[in-house]
Every structure is written in structure tokens, then in C-alpha cells.
Amino acid sequence: MIRGLGRDVDARTAPFAWEPDEQGRPALMGARVTQCALSRICGACAESLGRPIAFVGDAEEVARNAFHAPPLHEECARGLAADSPDWRVVVLTAGFEFVRPVAGAADRRPTFEPNSLL
């Protein structure tokens, strides 16, 4: 079982881009996050993305317009936001930039920067 997102989730039904960490909490999988960006698939259901594209995040991610969670369908994003105390904000966009970290960066996780907020 994966703990988090406000509920226990069976590993078979966990969001596509997440896997359980050592404590059983959901953690982003780097390879799947990149796959979501490059293949333009939803980080929750792994289906092709259309528009609008949604991102979930906290107030800090919204303020800097850079999200760690991969792109999502609006419905998938709203479901994740409803289940997680960490992600209360859903941002809708028509497009995004996938930004890989630079050498020596303190945060080595890629980010997604929405470029046409809706």
C-alpha cells in the first residue's frame, strides 16, 4: 500500500509518476516524470494530454511558477489536490516548459514551468 495523498493507495493503482519510498509514502520517480514531460502524458493516469494541462502544487511552487509534479489532466489534478494536504492549488495552462536542473543546483529535481496560464 502507498500511504499519502490523503489515503492508502494500492501500488497497482498509484499515480503513474509516483512510487512508494522506504516509509511507504508516495515519491516522484525521476524517469517517469521525464517520460511524462517528453511524451506529453498525464502523471496520474499515463494517458495522452490535451488542453488544458494542469499542475498541482503548494503556494511556493505557484509563486515561483515552477512545479515538481508532472503535467496532469484537469480531472486527475483535482483528484490529487483533493486527496493531498500538500497540494491544494491546481494551475491550468495551455503549455509548459520542462526544465532540467543545472549542474551544482541545490535542488536536483526537474521542474515544469507553465507558460500560458488559463
Instruction: Give residue for cell 493531498.
Output: 84
4, pLDDT greater than 80? no
- CA atoms of 94 and 15, how far apart (whole Å): 22
Q: In the predicted model, what is the mean pLDDT of residues 102-106?
A: 82
8 pLDDT tier (thresholds 50, 70, 90): very low
Percent of the chain with pLDDT over 90: 58
Domain that holds residue 88: 2-114
Average pLDDT, integer, range 91-103: 93
Condensed to tens digits (0 to 9), the pLDDT of residues 20-63 reads 888 877 889 999 999 999 999 999 999 999 999 999 999 999 99
Pairing relationship of beta strands 96-99 and 89-93 according to DSSP bridges: unpaired
How far is it, in rounded angstroms, from Cα 54 to Cα 78?
9
DSSP 33: H
- What is the value of pTM for the model shown? 0.83
Is there a contact between 78 and 91 (Cβ–Cβ < 8 Å)? Answer: no
Number of domains comprising the chain: 1
Residue 92, helix vs strand vs coil: strand
